[in-house]
Amino acid sequence: MPATQATPGVLNFGCRLNAYEGEAIRTALGKHGRDDIVVVNTCAVTAEAEKQARQAIRRLRRERPDARIVVTGCAAQVNAGAFSAMPEVDHVIGNREKLSENLWRDLGNDSSRVVVGDILLDAPAALPAVSHFPGRPRAYLEIQQGCDHRCTFCIIPYGRGPSRSLPLGAVVEQARALVERGYREFVLTGVDITSYGQDLPGRPTLGNAVRRLLDLVPGLERLRFSSLDPAEIDDDLLRLYADEPRVMPHAHLSLQAGDDLILKRMKRRHSRAQALEMAQRLQSLRPGIALGADLIAGFPTESEAAFENSRSLIDEAGLAFVHVFPYSPRPGTPAARMPQLPVELRKARAAILRQTADAALERFLSLRIGVEAQILVEQAGMGRDETYAPVVLPDHMTKGSIVAARIAAVRDGKLWLDAA
């Protein structure tokens, strides 16, 4: 996945959770004046993500020959040896250890080169709460860490450890601080946020916690969620989509495939029919909602018929935003030991899924023509409306503001205010 520069000193790869933690690390570095440290916060979802991280490390060493280069994140947690073997790397820090402010304060020549503990056993520490996301128009709120499930293709539970929820009070406190800094849109993030609360007293559901968050932070204007597991979406959360206008009409579902046999071999906990039912419920509760999903092309043993079931799911579920990944085997996962499809076939199927997804997006965007949209300005000339659809805007609009405008046209996968 592409890297994002959180701020000087931190290079993030991968998910929103990494972006959040990267900003927390930057805050700790700034607090202790550690401008000698450059952190590469890695992702382990695909082999390509690790490859990009290694390339970035080599480039950073050329650009910053005197810097202390520290590699952390999921790839560092599960593959510490590969990164410690790179001559450009000074330290490899585990996902648990990176959340210790004292580590960033004290890191020096006498520190261990590799500090990676057993994340399956050790609870993470807590970095200072993040109150600013430089360059970003929306704020991230981390509410959960880790995952208790074992999908056969996924290495992330071994990079993040078991599911752990942040107490709601800590989430509320940070949300209030971010509202005071002027943020108007928030994304709740974690590894498996629909498992939120199962490890807390009283076992609150995600939906229950979100309703309390919105009640306690009235200044929080717009709320989105990172990926939602359709097997864990609770009735409280569905009611929020139905009756809470501050919850945006947009849901990204972790589907991965649309064929029952492949879903079983992935060790997913939903069927094709259940995925369709959840999509239909959301669309019924919130007419006009935009649904997104992750789909993997070319999973081991995927037949032409199984692939077609995934391709047709895009239209049958009414998906608008589809993230397509050609299957990439991860060493140490059960799927890596299954019969593999040729790489070229995986790529070809991914291309077909993307073509289908592009057509589905165009159909969804066309339904927005004539709508008076509320658009968050992300940068000069670009924003996103309530459904997360990209909107081309005049350059003079202020980043972070929310503007009302009527959608006039669709061109090149974006909404436009001018029909000409």
Mean pLDDT estimate for the chain: 91
- Stretch among 120-134, 182-196, 311-325, 328-342 having the lowest mean pLDDT: 120-134
Nearest 5°: the CA angle 418, 388, 276 is: 125
Cα torsion for 272, 275, 277, 282, to the nearest 10°?
Answer: -160
**What is the structure's pLDDT at 155?**
86
Question: 418 falls in which pLDDT band (50, 70, 90)?
Answer: confident
SS (H, E, C) the chain: CCEEEEECCEEEECCHHHHHHHHHHHHHHHHCCCCCEEEEEECCCCHHHHHHHHHHHHHHHHHCCCCEEEEEEHHHHHCHHHHHCCCCCCEEECCCHHHCHHHHHHCCCCCCCEECCCCCCCCCCCCCCCCCCCCCCCEEEECEECCCCCCCCCCHHHHHCCCEECCHHHHHHHHHHHHHCCCCEEEEECCCHHHCCCCCCCCCCHHHHHHHHHHHCCCCCEEEECCECCCCCCHHHHHHHHHCCCECCEEEEEEECCCHHHHHHHCCCCCHHHHHHHHHHHHHHCCCCEEEEEEEECCCCCCHHHHHHHHHHHHHCCEEEEEEEECCCCCCCHHHHCCCCCHHHHHHHHHHHHHHHHHHHHHHHHCCCCCEEEEEEEECCEEECCCCCEEECCCCCCCCCEEEEECCEEECCEEECCCC
**What is the structure's pLDDT at 6?**
45
Highest mean pLDDT among 41-45, 176-180, 300-304: 300-304
**What is the structure's pLDDT at 330?**
86
250-284 pLDDT, tens digit per residue, is 999 999 999 999 999 999 999 999 999 999 999 99
8-22 pLDDT, tens digit per residue, is 588 888 777 888 888
Are 112 and 375 in contact, with CB atoms under 8 Å apart? no
pLDDT above 60 for 7: no
Q: What is the distance between the alpha carbons of residues 106 and 102, in angstroms, rounded to a whole number?
A: 6
133-165 pLDDT, tens digit per residue, is 777 789 999 899 889 999 999 988 888 888 889
**What is the structure's pLDDT at 150?**
92
Q: What is the distance between the alpha carbons of residues 227 and 262, in angstroms, rounded to a whole number?
A: 20
203-240 pLDDT, tens digit per residue, is 999 999 999 999 999 999 999 999 999 999 999 999 99
Q: What is the distance between the alpha carbons of residues 40 and 131, in angstroms, rounded to a whole number?
A: 21
53-107 pLDDT, tens digit per residue, is 999 999 999 999 999 999 998 989 888 888 999 999 999 999 888 888 888 888 8
**What is the structure's pLDDT at 159?**
84
Question: 305 falls in which pLDDT band (50, 70, 90)?
Answer: very high
Phi, psi for 293 (deg, rounded to 5): -165, 155
The two structure tokens encoding residue 150: 């074992």
| Cα–Cα distances in angstroms (integers) from residue 37 to residues 7, 12, 65, 200, in the given order | 12, 14, 11, 36
Share of the chain above pLDDT 90, in %: 66
pTM: 0.85
320-371 pLDDT, tens digit per residue, is 999 999 998 988 899 999 999 999 999 999 999 999 999 999 999 999 999 9
371-401 pLDDT, tens digit per residue, is 999 999 999 999 999 999 999 999 989 999 9
User: What is the pLDDT averaged over residues 27-34?
Assistant: 86
- CB hemisphere CA count around 364 (13 angstroms): 29
pLDDT above 90 for 192: yes
User: What is the pLDDT averaged over residues 46-52?
Assistant: 83
Q: How many other β-carbons are positioned within 10 Å of the β-carbon of residue 402?
A: 18
**What is the structure's pLDDT at 124?**
56
**What is the structure's pLDDT at 1?**
46
